[in-house]
Structure 1
Amino acid sequence: MPAHLDPADPGFARDPYPYYARLREQGPAARVALANGSHAWLVTGYEQARAVLSDARFSNVPPRGAGRPKPDSPAERARGCLARHMLNTDAPDHVRLRRLTTAAFTPRRVDALRPRIERLTDGLVAELSGRLARERTADLVDAFAFPLPVLVIGEVLGVPEADRADLREWTYRVGSPADALERGAVDEAWSSLHAYFTALIGHKRRSPGDDLFSTLVHDAAEGGLDDGELLAMAFLLLFAGYETTMNLLASASLQLLTHPRELAAARRGGPERWAAVVEETLRHGSPLEGTTWRRTTERVDLGGGAVIPAEASVLVVLAAANRDPAHFPDPDAFRPDRHLAATGRAAPHLAFGHGPHFCLGSRLARLEAAIALPRLFEALPDLTLAADPLELPYRPGLLVRGPRRLPVR
Structure 2
Amino acid sequence: MLDHLNPADPGFARDPYPYYARLRAQGPAARVPLTNGTHAWLVTGYDQARAVLSDPRFSNVPPQGAGRPGPDSPARRARGCLARHMLNSDAPDHPRLRRLTTATFTPRRVDALRPRIEHLADGLVTELAGELDRHGTVDLVDAFAFPLPVLVIGEVLGVPEADRADLREWTYRVGSPADALEPGAVDEAWTRLHAYFTHLIGHKRESPGDDLFSTLVHDASEGGLDDGELLAMAFLLLFAGYETTMNLLASATLMLLTHEEELDAARRGGPGRWAAVVEETLRHGSPLEGTTWRRTTERVDLGGGAVIPAEDSVLVVLAAANRDPGHFPAPDDFRPARYLPEGRRAAPHLAFGHGPHFCLGSRLGRLEAAVALPRLFDALPGLALAADPAELPYRPGLLVRGPRRVPVRRR
Q: TM-score range by the shorter chain?
A: over 0.9
- Compare 318-327 and 214-223 and name the one that shifted more: 214-223
Instruction: Kindly indicate whether the alpha-carbon contact (under 8 Å) linking 2:170 and 2:189 is maintained by their aligned counterparts in 1.
Output: no
Name the CA distance, whole Å, in 1 between partners of 2:56 and 2:127: 48
| 1:327 equivalent in structure 2 | 327
| 1:164 equivalent in structure 2 | 167
Instruction: Kindly indicate whether the alpha-carbon contact (under 8 Å) linking 2:4 and 2:35 is maintained by their aligned counterparts in 1.
Output: yes
Instruction: Kindly indicate whether the alpha-carbon contact (under 8 Å) linking 2:170 and 2:190 is maintained by their aligned counterparts in 1.
Output: no
Instruction: Kindly indicate whether the alpha-carbon contact (under 8 Å) linking 2:2 and 2:33 is maintained by their aligned counterparts in 1.
Output: no
Instruction: Kindly indicate whether the alpha-carbon contact (under 8 Å) linking 1:149 and 1:242 is maintained by their aligned counterparts in 2.
Output: yes
Alignment of 1:155-304 (within 5 A): 155-159=155-159, 160-173=163-176, 189-219=189-219, 223-304=223-304
Name the CA distance, whole Å, in 2 between partners of 1:33 and 1:333: 29
Structure 2 gaps, min length 5: none
Q: Normalised by the size of structure 2, how large is the TM-score? A: 0.92
How many equivalent residue pairs? 406
Structure 1 gaps, min length 5: none
Structure 1 residues 94, 181: closer, same or farther in 2, change over 3 A? farther
Name the CA distance, whole Å, in 2 between partners of 1:263 and 1:185: 39
Q: Once the 2 structures are TM-superposed, how far is the Cα of residue 66 of structure 1 from its aligned partner?
A: 3.7
Name the CA distance, whole Å, in 1 between partners of 2:129 and 2:180: 33
- Compare 72-81 and 120-129 and name the one that shifted more: 72-81
CA deviation map 1:37-91 (0-9, x unaligned): 3321111010000001111111111123445444555544432222210011111
Name the CA distance, whole Å, in 2 between partners of 1:247 and 1:236: 16
Alignment of 1:5-404 (within 5 A): 5-70=5-70, 73-159=73-159, 160-173=163-176, 189-219=189-219, 223-404=223-404
CA deviation map 1:183-228 (0-9, x unaligned): 7776555444333322322333343322233333334799422222
CA deviation map 1:255-311 (0-9, x unaligned): 000001111111111111111111100000000111111111111111121111111
Name the CA distance, whole Å, in 1 between partners of 2:391 and 2:318: 24
Name the CA distance, whole Å, in 1 between partners of 2:273 and 2:237: 30
Name the CA distance, whole Å, in 2 between partners of 1:379 and 1:49: 40
Name the CA distance, whole Å, in 1 between partners of 2:306 and 2:181: 34
Name the CA distance, whole Å, in 2 between partners of 1:377 and 1:78: 39
Name the CA distance, whole Å, in 2 between partners of 1:110 and 1:192: 28
Name the CA distance, whole Å, in 2 between partners of 1:220 and 1:232: 17
Query: Which amino acid is 2:44 matched to?
Result: T
Structure 1 residues 400, 238: closer, same or farther in 2, change over 3 A? same
Instruction: Kindly indicate whether the alpha-carbon contact (under 8 Å) linking 1:338 and 1:345 is maintained by their aligned counterparts in 2.
Output: yes
Structure 1 residues 281, 343: closer, same or farther in 2, change over 3 A? same
CA deviation map 1:138-187 (0-9, x unaligned): 111111111211111110111231223333234415xx6x7998877765
Name the CA distance, whole Å, in 2 between partners of 1:234 and 1:77: 15
Query: Which amino acid is 1:161 matched to?
Result: R
Structure 1 residues 23, 189: closer, same or farther in 2, change over 3 A? farther
Instruction: Kindly indicate whether the alpha-carbon contact (under 8 Å) linking 1:36 and 1:68 is maintained by their aligned counterparts in 2.
Output: no
Instruction: Kindly indicate whether the alpha-carbon contact (under 8 Å) linking 1:337 and 1:343 is maintained by their aligned counterparts in 2.
Output: no
Q: CA RMSD in A?
A: 2.2
Structure 1 residues 38, 194: closer, same or farther in 2, change over 3 A? farther
Structure 1 residues 189, 58: closer, same or farther in 2, change over 3 A? farther
Name the CA distance, whole Å, in 2 between partners of 1:40 and 1:186: 28
Name the CA distance, whole Å, in 1 between partners of 2:189 and 2:36: 20
The 3-state SS of whatever aligns with 2:31 is strand
Structure 1 residues 15, 105: closer, same or farther in 2, change over 3 A? same
- Compare 221-230 and 131-140 and name the one that shifted more: 221-230
Structure 1 residues 344, 330: closer, same or farther in 2, change over 3 A? same
Name the CA distance, whole Å, in 1 between partners of 2:382 and 2:260: 11
The 3-state SS of whatever aligns with 1:323 is coil
Q: Normalised by the size of structure 1, how large is the TM-score? A: 0.93
Name the CA distance, whole Å, in 2 between partners of 1:302 and 1:279: 29
- Compare 188-197 and 91-100 and name the one that shifted more: 188-197
